Structure 1
Amino acid sequence: MIQIQQLSKKYKGAENYSVQNLDLVVEDQEIFGLLGPNGAGKTTLISMLSFLLKPTSGSFTINNLSFKENKKELKQLIGIVPQEYALYPTLTAYENLYYFGSMYGLKGKVLKDSIHSHLETLGLSRFADKKIDTFSGGMKRRINLIASILHNPKVLFLDEPTVGVDVQSKNVIIDHLKQLNANGTTIIYTSHHLNEAENLCTRVAIIDQGTIITKGVPSDLIAAQENARNLEDVFLALTGKALRDHA
């Protein structure tokens, strides 16, 4: 589904590359986890794959379509859930979703039915006419997710989709992601919740300093690392325990 070849990004004025000569293949209908410390390059990589950032060099294809030659078609195939809420706070949940759905070319009954179906599934129907700025963090996360999947994307990029939400909201979001995947959506997912990634992802890649240092099935990575009990042990063994604060 996704083929990445020697993809790199260096920001203007930066000393080092945020992503450097990265190669990766993501298979159709995988839930693929991108894991790494702060500043490792996860968000930069997802931003390039979703056309929010222009690569410095390298190439990638999605569904055998080149990002250089088929940008318009590719944008219709993907959905993205960013770290920050991408919502209009003074509009209602329904107004936000109607706007984003229209941007993907949906209209009429198809759009309305999609909005109501997702609101119902994610437990937000009774809040459809409430303004976003009155919502809790977990409710905003769920609306953020719906806005990215109204058009049934073939590939969904998720950047920390459960950060800062309560256990109930996280459970609903994860269950919905599993259902989307079962229905045919390939998911690329970043998170600092390693236990969540271990249980959700078919495969993961651990990224540090813009390069992939290991990748594979979570259980295989745990088995291959001496004394590792879980994915967090693997992560710390490979990336170290030093703080990764950055500004």
Structure 2
Amino acid sequence: MTIASLLEPITGQPGPARLVHAADWMQGRTLYGGASALVAYTMAQRAFTGLPPLRAAQIGFVAPIGEEIELHAEIIREGRNVTQVRSEIHSGGKTALTAFWLFAAQRDANAKRAADDLADWPGAPEDSPQAMKGQGPAFIQNNFELRYGQDKEADHGATIRRWARLTEDHDLDPVSKLVLMGDVMPPGAMRIMQRMGPISSINWSFNVLDPFTQSEGGWYLAENASQYADSGYSSERLRMWDSDGRQVIEGLQCVAVFG
């Protein structure tokens, strides 16, 4: 189902909205994290047109999000180059997602440093076997194509890396596509769980390194790596690269690990 159908009810006006095609993007009893983040991002974009490119975001996944929601957005501060916007999704009269977006115009660079290259680059996605075919949540089966981004026979510790692309282009702008895709991988902590159990993303913070990215074939290499896991939580590093090996997102996430 095209993401445009999910986003169609978002007019930029505050108040109730009904996501009539939410079922195509559900993960258990809540909207998939990337889709719910995109709903909040789209609300910010449509509420305040003419914003500069997105450079960073902080998102809190507070409660499950379903079909019936209420949307809010406000400008926190608008400077000469940077505009900071908060948008929220309410469900059942309570906050279900809160997001803080940092939009910033491009300036002449006073410091330049390219992101480090990925040491064990997996090669082209077309040369990698398909992953999770017929497996995983329905929203992945219906909306994503995944291929291995690491040798599936080797031990990669607490790191999961996959090539991912949308099965439909959806006519999304580059940043909206990154927001939708950036949370598609399960946490790396799943690889080191002593017994299977549920997991839940609590938050997601990321910096957009290239808001104008156009990756060949729509493919992006997504990685989730647990940096530390204990006491029922995992601190995860989330990164994405385009098909030429240029990093486009640098992120951090806290995940609850149950069971």
TM-score normalised according to structure 1 size: 0.26
More helix by share: 1
More strand by share: 2
TM-score normalised according to structure 2 size: 0.25
Between 1 and 2, higher relative CO (CA 8 Å, sep ≥ 6) is seen in: 1
